[in-house]
Amino acid sequence: MRIGITCYPTYGGSGAIATELGKELALRGHEIHFISYAVPFRLNKYVENIIYHEVESSNYPLFEFSLYTLSLTSKMAEVAEFENLDLLHVHYAIPHAVSAYLAKEILKEKRDIKIITTLHGTDITLVGLEPNFLPLVNFSIEKSDAVTAVSRFLKEKTITQYEIKKEIEVIPNFVDTEIFKPNPNSKYRGHIAPNGEKVLIHTSNFRPVKRVTDVIKIFDKVNKEIPSKLLLIGDGPDRFECEQLTRQLNIADKVKFLGKQEAIVDILNASDLFLLPSQSESFGLAALEAMACGLPVIASSVGGLPELIKHNECGFISEIGDVDRMAKYAIELLTNDKKYELFSKNARKKAIEKFDKSKIIPMYENLYYRLLN
Ligand code: GMT
């Protein structure tokens, strides 16, 4: 098949999934055309069958606001026509699903291009609910030829909040468990925790929805009981507030803000426990990647997280904001080697059995074939 994929190219779960999906489909012999405003961050090496098309925004002075949605529409229509695309698969509804719908309409006399929209999270739970976006999100979902959601939670939320009639298929996120795997000989461990400290880790885009300050409060409590370090990976609007909090709590020397990092597998392998105390989380791809590396996860009991993390088996889940309980769970795991080993094995097992790429990619492929037939 010839497939166009549009996603946000920046650091984030939806871009990561869209790019890994494209790479896997290309390896299976499909021709993949990424259409975005920058090279997706995980498209960092040459892969046969992958072509990248850059969307350039017009900067004519009359346009006070960028016309990205329209530039994207034109590029989608152009690529679909001249590269003979069968499908356009867009990740994150706003504005990608709208542009795809317009591109389909532009081309409809010439070819019937099928649109698949994958809903990821904040496109539905946050941004899409803004009153001026709601009808647009509803419209673009209903007009897609197929819609997928990354968790059962997100499917239900979309149906109820947007009164969607269209069938939504749940296709969970996935991980390559051959790449994301435990490595007991991590070369970074000694550097991060030279005195054998336990290492807690969190990765995110540092937006308010991630509650990164809760990560720091949990760590502060753990660190009072167990010599430990905290690694914070990623960047975003809350980073400064988080840095300030570590200074107020007098733990700045124990918390490393590493910013955006590519070598995430190596860093996960230098760590013991993953924290994700989010306000809302449709799936939690970062937690899945940690689990594949054998890290138990402590998370809030929101959104799709309970579908991923079985409580008291591969981690623990607690009420949003219950930092005392999350710290208690962390201490319980980090002071009980037997329990830790069991949880670590369970986490990896769950990643392999339920979310390995070999189980999920065929679900997308089947959906494409069904649509084209
Ligand atoms: O807002 C974000 O957290 C970023 C967003 C994205 O588009 O990268 O993440 C969402 O999609 C991920 C991939 O499907 C999910 O793993 C995240 O849970 C989801 N984030 C939220 O729901 C907050």
Task: Identify which of 6, 10, 14 to mutate to test ligand 1's pocket (most ligand atoms within 8 A of the CB).
Answer: 14
Kindly state if the Cβ of 172 falls inside 6 Å of ligand 1: no
Nearest atom of ligand 1 to the alpha carbon of 92: 7
Q: Which helix (H) or strand (E) holds 167?
A: none
Residues 299 and 214 placed together within one structural domain of the fold: yes
pLDDT of residue 361: 98
Q: Which residues are 276's β-sheet partners?
A: 299
Number of domains in the chain: 2
The answer to whether the CB of 123 falls within 8 A of the CB of 137 is: yes
pLDDT of residue 230: 98
Residues 256 and 296 placed together within one structural domain of the fold: yes
Out of 12-16, 71-75, 103-107, 275-279, pick the least confident. Answer: 12-16
Nearest atom of ligand 1 to the alpha carbon of 303: 22
Kindly state if the Cβ of 13 falls inside 6 Å of ligand 1: yes
The DSSP result for 92-124, as a single string, is SSTTHHHHHHHHHHHHTTT---EEEEEE-SHHH
Closest CA to 17 of 314, 368, 288: 288
Residues 162 and 226 placed together within one structural domain of the fold: no
pLDDT of residue 103: 98
Kindly state if the Cβ of 284 falls inside 6 Å of ligand 1: yes
Kindly state if the Cβ of 14 falls inside 6 Å of ligand 1: yes
pLDDT beyond 90 at 60: no
Residue 273 inside a domain? The answer is yes
pLDDT band at residue 364 under the 50/70/90 scheme: very high
Q: Which residues are 317's β-sheet partners?
A: 299
pLDDT beyond 90 at 247: yes
**pLDDT tens, residue by residue, 174-230:** 999 999 999 988 888 999 999 999 999 999 999 999 999 999 999 999 999 999 999
Q: For position 79, which CATH number holds?
A: 3.40.50.2000
Q: Which residue has the higher pLDDT, 86 or 262?
A: 86
pLDDT of residue 334: 98
**Look-up of token digits 């909040």:** 161
pLDDT band at residue 126 under the 50/70/90 scheme: confident
**pLDDT tens, residue by residue, 292-312:** 999 999 999 999 999 999 999
Residues 210 and 334 placed together within one structural domain of the fold: yes
Q: How much of the chain, in percent, has pLDDT values that exceed 70?
A: 100
Residues 193 and 160 placed together within one structural domain of the fold: no
pLDDT of residue 255: 98
Q: Using the mean position of ligand 1's atoms as its centre, give its distance from the Cα of residue 287 in Å.
A: 11
* Mean pLDDT value across the chain: 95
Residue 184 inside a domain? The answer is no
Q: Give this prediction's pTM.
A: 0.95
pLDDT of residue 7: 97
pLDDT of residue 251: 98
Kindly state if the Cβ of 92 falls inside 6 Å of ligand 1: yes
Residue 259 inside a domain? The answer is yes
pLDDT of residue 57: 84
Residues 158 and 195 placed together within one structural domain of the fold: no
Residues 166 and 207 placed together within one structural domain of the fold: no
The boundaries of the domain holding residue 226 are 189-355
pLDDT beyond 80 at 11: no
pLDDT beyond 80 at 136: yes
Kindly state if the Cβ of 154 falls inside 6 Å of ligand 1: no
d(CA 122, CA 125): 5
pLDDT of residue 128: 73
Kindly state if the Cβ of 19 falls inside 6 Å of ligand 1: no
Q: How much of the chain, in percent, has pLDDT values that exceed 90?
A: 88
Residue 71 inside a domain? The answer is yes
Residues 47 and 150 placed together within one structural domain of the fold: yes
Q: Which residue has the higher pLDDT, 320 or 57?
A: 320
Nearest atom of ligand 1 to the alpha carbon of 8: 7
Residue 179 inside a domain? The answer is no
Residues 261 and 163 placed together within one structural domain of the fold: no
Residues 252 and 340 placed together within one structural domain of the fold: yes
pLDDT of residue 264: 93
Residues 263 and 334 placed together within one structural domain of the fold: yes
Which residue's CA is minimally distant from atom 11 of ligand 1? 120
Kindly state if the Cβ of 175 falls inside 6 Å of ligand 1: no
pLDDT of residue 185: 86
SS (H, E, C) 142-154: HHCCEEEECCHHH
Kindly state if the Cβ of 285 falls inside 6 Å of ligand 1: yes
Residues 85 and 164 placed together within one structural domain of the fold: yes
